[in-house]
């Protein structure tokens, strides 16, 4: 979805459901679609994920976060939150479907057996492949490559 359309949708839904006095912003999250900050009275959406999602997915995430704002910080994803989410037009799900698009992580690690792992931040310590060994194993260390620059790293 286009960022400007998402911003317009967010403000529209916030006004419609009584949290128009809350702040809205986009954040840099890659692993969660939205967040509700009760102290700052602020709802945020992941800019990276919004750009990958269809309008109906963005709408569902906004309604999810608005339901949090309406029921308050002590409810998490409990029955009261779910009732509110459904009442305002959301689906009442605590999580997005597993097949929702995700941004590509810039760092890809490959173990000697060829298994891969992804990281959004540059790895700063040695990591070994969990598929090859349940505990840390120097024989199964990942070598990391940045998709964008080709930089290679094997943290010490």
Q: What is the DSSP string of 44-109?
A: EEEHHHHTTS-HHHHHHHHHHHHHHHHH-TT-TTSHHHHHHHHHTT----SS--TTS--PPPSEEE
Calpha distance 72→99 (Å, rounded): 29
Per-domain boundaries in the chain: 3-87, 107-153
pTM for this predicted structure: 0.80
Calpha distance 95→19 (Å, rounded): 22
- What is the reported pLDDT for 97? 83
The 10s digit of each residue's pLDDT in 56-108 is 999 999 999 999 999 999 999 999 999 999 999 999 999 988 888 888 899 99
Give the number of other CB atoms < 10 A from CB of residue 55: 13
- Taking the domain 3-87, which CATH number applies? 3.30.2010.10
Give the number of other CB atoms < 10 A from CB of residue 116: 12
- pLDDT bin (cut points 50, 70, 90) of residue 115 is very high
- What is the reported pLDDT for 21? 98
Task: Using the predicted structure, report yes or no on whether residue 52 has a pLDDT greater than 80.
Answer: yes
Pick from 80, 152, 87: nearest CA to 123 = 152
């Amino acid at each position: 979805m286009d960022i400007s359309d998402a911003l317009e949708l967010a403000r529209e839904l916030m006004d419609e459901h009584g949290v128009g006095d809350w702040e809205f912003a986009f954040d840099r999250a890659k692993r969660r679609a939205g967040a509700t900050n009760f102290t700052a009275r602020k709802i945020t959406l992941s800019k990276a994920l919004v750009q990958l999602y269809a309008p109906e997915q963005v709408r569902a995430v906004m309604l999810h976060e608005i339901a949090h704002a309406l029921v308050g910080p002590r409810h998490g994803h409990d029955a009261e939150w779910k009732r509110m989410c459904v009442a305002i037009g959301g689906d009442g799900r605590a999580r997005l479907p597993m097949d929702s698009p995700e941004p590509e992580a810039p760092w890809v690690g490959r173990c000697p057996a060829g298994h891969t792992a992804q990281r959004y931040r540059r790895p700063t310590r040695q990591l070994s492949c969990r598929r090859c060994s349940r505990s840390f194993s120097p024989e199964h260390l990942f070598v990391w490559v940045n998709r964008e620059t080709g930089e290679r790293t094997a943290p010490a």
